[in-house]
Structure 1
Amino acid sequence: MSDWGPVVIAVVLFVLLSPGLLIQLPGRHHFVEFGNLHTSAMSIVVHSIIYFALITLFVIVIGVHITTD
């Protein structure tokens, strides 16, 4: 049996938290900007911290598992 939970969660969070794709925090002109497709060094750091916190929460604390036979 394979556990695909961490892989699926990591891929989904990576796509959703890519800076500038859906949301950029902090933005260039405003604190939060939506769908501007730009990025900065500070937004990469902020999104990385949020990604690490969420992946830790889902994989380690909650323990999401998707098993296949």
Structure 2
Amino acid sequence: MADWGPVIIAVLLFVLLSPGLLVQIPAGKGKIVEFGNMQTSGASIFVHAIIYFCLITIFLIVIGVHVYTG
């Protein structure tokens, strides 16, 4: 049996937390949050990476999400 939980969670979080796709934190031009602008910056990439790391740690290590196939 293969455990697909980590793969599914990682892909979903990667897509949802891509800077500029749904939300961008921090946004440029003095704004804190901007929605759907499809642009990014170095600070935004760093913030989204920290959020991604925190969420993937919570889902995979603390909660222990598992999806078995076969």
TM-score, normalized by the shorter chain, greater than 0.5 = yes
Q: Which residue of 2 aligns with 1:31?
A: 32
Partners of 2:69 and 2:11 lie apart in 1 by: 18
Partner AA of 1:33 in structure 2: E
- How far did residue 13 of structure 1 move? 0.1
CA distance in 1, matches of 2:49, 2:33: 16
Normalising by structure 2, report the TM-score.
Answer: 0.97
Cα-Cα RMSD: 0.4
Runs of 4+ off more than 3 Å = none
Match of 2:68 in 1: 67
Gaps of 5+ in 2: none
CA shift for structure 1 position 6: 0.3
Question: Percent identity between the aligned chains?
Answer: 68
Query: Aligned equivalents of 2:62 and 2:7: distance in 1?
Result: 16
